[in-house]
Every structure is written in C-alpha cells, then in structure tokens.
A = this chain, B = another copy of it.
Amino acid sequence: MSVTIKDIAKKANISYPSVSRALSGKPGVSSKTREKVLKIAKEMNYQPNALARSLVQNRTATIGLIIPDILNPYFSETAKGVEDEAHSRGLSVFLCNSDWDGDREGKYIDQLIANRVDGIILFPTSPANISEIRRKAGRKLPVVILGTTQTEDVSISISIDNVLGAELSVVHLLNKKYRKLAFIGGKPGLSGVDDRLEGYKKALEKFGLPVENEMIVENGFTFESGYNAMNDLLDQSRRPDAVFAENDVIAMGVIQALRTRGLRVPEDIAVVGFDDIPMASMAGIDLTTVRQPKYEMGKMAVSELHSVLQGESVPNVNKRLVLEPKLIIRKTG
C-alpha cells in the first residue's frame, strides 16, 4: 500500500490531522512543522489519495464529458476546449464517447454519477436523455447541455442559433441561383439539428420554392452516411443542383461521392457544410460552411459548471446561451 498521512505523522512525531493541515495549506500549523511535513512527504514520495479526500469533502474536482463521436473533428475540438479550461481550473475530465447510442449514453451517466463528478457536460443523442440526465442528476449536480437549446427541464444549455446558421447558408446558395437544393442530415429528433432543417425550409419558402421530401435525406452523422446518401440521391431521376449537409463530415462524404462519380464541385453540384472543421479550409477541399465556435463552447461549458460550483450562479435555473453562427464562403458552394 502507498504512503499515507499517518506514515508521515509517525515520522514527524505529530498527529496526522496536523499533517493534513500542513499538506493542504490550511491555517493551524506553525510554518516550522509545515516545512518539516512537506520535506518528509517529499522524501517518502507521498501521493495524496483524492478518493479519500473526495469522500469526506463531497466533491471530486472531476467533471464528465459525454460526446457522440470523438472522431468527428467538431467534437474533438469541443473536447479540447473542455479539457483546456478544466485543466486551468484544476479539474480532471472523464471522457465518454456515446457513439450516438442512447443506451450507452445512459450507462455513462450512471458511471459518472457513481464517480461523483462535480458536473456533467452532455452532447445528447436524443431528447429523452435530456430529461433522464436531469432526473438522475437531481437538484445538486449541475449539467450543461451542448448543441441544443431543447431543455424543458432546468439546466444550462450552450448552442449556436442553428435555424439562422442553416438559413444563412441556404440563402447563399439560392442567391447563387441554385434552385434544386437537397438536405442531407443526420437523424431527426434533436432540436440542434432539427433546427437546421427548419432553417433550410425557411430559406426555401423565402424564395417561394417548394419543400420536396425526396430532396431530404436523414441518414446518420458520419462520412459514410453522407457518402451513401449522396449516392442514393444521384440514383434518383431528379438530381439536386446543390446540397446542404448538416455537418462538415457529412459534406465530405457527399463530395467524395460526387468526385468518385466524376462530378465537379461546385460546377455540377454545389455543396455546403456546417461546423467549419479544420479540414474544411484545406486547399483541395475549400468547403463553404457555417462556423460554430466549437472550442469556445467547450470552454464556456466548463466555466458555467465552475461558476455553479463556486456558488456564483444558481444551479437550477434554465439558462440558455445562444451564440452566433457565421457563414464561411469558400469554393464548394
């Protein structure tokens, strides 16, 4: 077993609470004993036990982050923001990858609560899980919901204005005289992404164009699903002249499908994405897309948790932070 404060106390000939006080920098010890304790602790290679401390203090300096897919650069960038901000505030992060699986997400929530994290940041895969986490988290555990403002229950949410983001980019296509616009999305159900469909429809209506169901495909959030969805669309009798993809990874799959078939982007079919992942700006890709402040959203999530933990803000209000999307025009649309 490892060295404990009792071992140090024995060696220093003092009581172990004094060692505790000395190590944690609390008042109540002479600077002389403090120095002595610190020296002995170092000599003995003492490693504090955060579990024991957490058990009595009822806080762990630990937070949980649940995201659907760490391979999607959108989420890794958010995760980086969370990680950086947490580190600068002395918090450790449990990373959980739900894989767009609601059950797995649920298990992770239980795991995090069992580990008594001080807060949870969740990018939900379904609206049902938002109520579930609120129920499980109870009145005390702060939760930040990312990517959607659909939080009937009390919690903090951080998201961009998705309707506006989609509208901006579809209007852009329409201004460029594209008229047959497809929507390739992930999965209906979450407000964050449903809002993008709404923005798409809104833009079409603004131009007096009909919403055609055969032009709307919702197939999953990955590169492959974008690839397959585009191929399906191309096999239809009526082809779109432009595509609005619900995220950049889908857009990349769409472009892959087009180029594989020998079609040019945007000359034959234009493509716009959503998120502005780093790859989008690469020469050879040059994806027109809608920028989200991903990294900042991750940092904000931790700040919000932290201010609740510090008692600076009330834990159980329904606080919605809605950020601005920004259209980034490049070459694909």
Q: Which residues of A contact B (CB under 8 A)?
A: 1-2, 45, 47-52, 54-55, 58, 60, 62, 65, 70-71, 73, 76-77, 79-80, 83-84, 87, 92-97, 99, 104, 110-116, 136, 138, 223, 252, 255-256, 259-260, 278-279, 282-285
In the complex, how many angstroms separate the beta carbon of A118 from the nearest chain B beta carbon? Answer: 12
Note all chain B residues with C-beta closer than 8 A to A76: 70-71, 73, 76
Q: Contacts A76-B70, A76-B71: A47 and B94 contacting too (C-beta < 8 A)?
A: no
Contact indicator A114/B50 (Cβ below 8 Å) = yes
For A135, the closest partner residue in chain B by CB is: B45
Chain B contacts for A93, CB-based, 8 A:
94-96
Closest Cβ of chain B to A97, distance in Å, is: 5
Whether B47 contacts A51 by the Cβ 8 Å rule is no
A282 to B226, CA, bound (A): 13
Known pairs A260-B283, A284-B255; A1 contacts B58 (CB<8 A): yes
- 12 inter-chain pairs at a CB distance below 8 angstroms, sorted by A residue, are A47-B136, A49-B55, A51-B54, A70-B79, A84-B97, A87-B97, A87-B104, A252-B282, A255-B284, A259-B283, A260-B283, A279-B282
Q: Which B residues lie within 8 Å of A50 (CB)?
A: 114-116
Tell me which residues across on chain B come within 8 A of A136, comparing CB atoms.
45, 47
- Contact between A80 and B97, CB atoms less than 8 A apart: yes
Given contacts A94-B94, A115-B50, contact A80 B87 (CB under 8 A): no
Task: Choose among B49, B71, B259 the residue that contacts A73 (Cβ–Cβ < 8 A).
Answer: B71
Known: A51-B51, A71-B278. 4 other contacts (CB 8 A): A2-B138, A73-B73, A93-B96, A255-B284
Most chain-B CB neighbours within 10 Å: which of A79, A99, A115, A278? A115
Contact in complex: B114, A49 (CB < 8 Å): yes
**How far in angstroms is the closest Cβ of chain B from A331?**
11
A7 nearest CB across to chain B (Å): 14
Which residues of chain B have C-beta atoms less than 8 A from A282's C-beta? 252, 255-256, 279, 285
Contacts of A58 in B (CB 8 A): 1
Residue from the list B47, B113, B255, B279 in contact with A114, Cβ < 8 A: B47
Tell me the minimal C-beta distance from A272 to chain B in angstroms: 16
Report the separation of the CA atoms of residues A113 and B115 in the bound assembly, to the nearest whole angstrom.
Answer: 16
The CB with the most chain B CB atoms within 10 A, among A2, A73, A83, A92, is that of A92
Is the pair A48, B252 in contact by a Cβ cutoff of 8 Å? no
A215 to chain B, nearest CB (A): 23
- Which residue of chain B has its CB nearest to the CB of A83? B97
Cα-based distance from A236 to B282 in the complex (angstroms): 24
Smallest distance from the beta carbon of A69 to chain B beta carbons, Å?
A: 8
* CA distance in complex: A279, B97 (Å): 21
| Bound-complex Cα distance A136 to B2 (A) | 11
A94 engages B92 (CB within 8 Å): yes
Contact of A95 among B52, B95, B116, B284 (CB under 8 A): B95
Contact A113 B47, CB 8 Å, known A80-B97, A94-B93: yes
Contact, CB under 8 Å: B115 / A62 = yes
Q: Is the CB of B80 within 8 A of A71?
A: yes
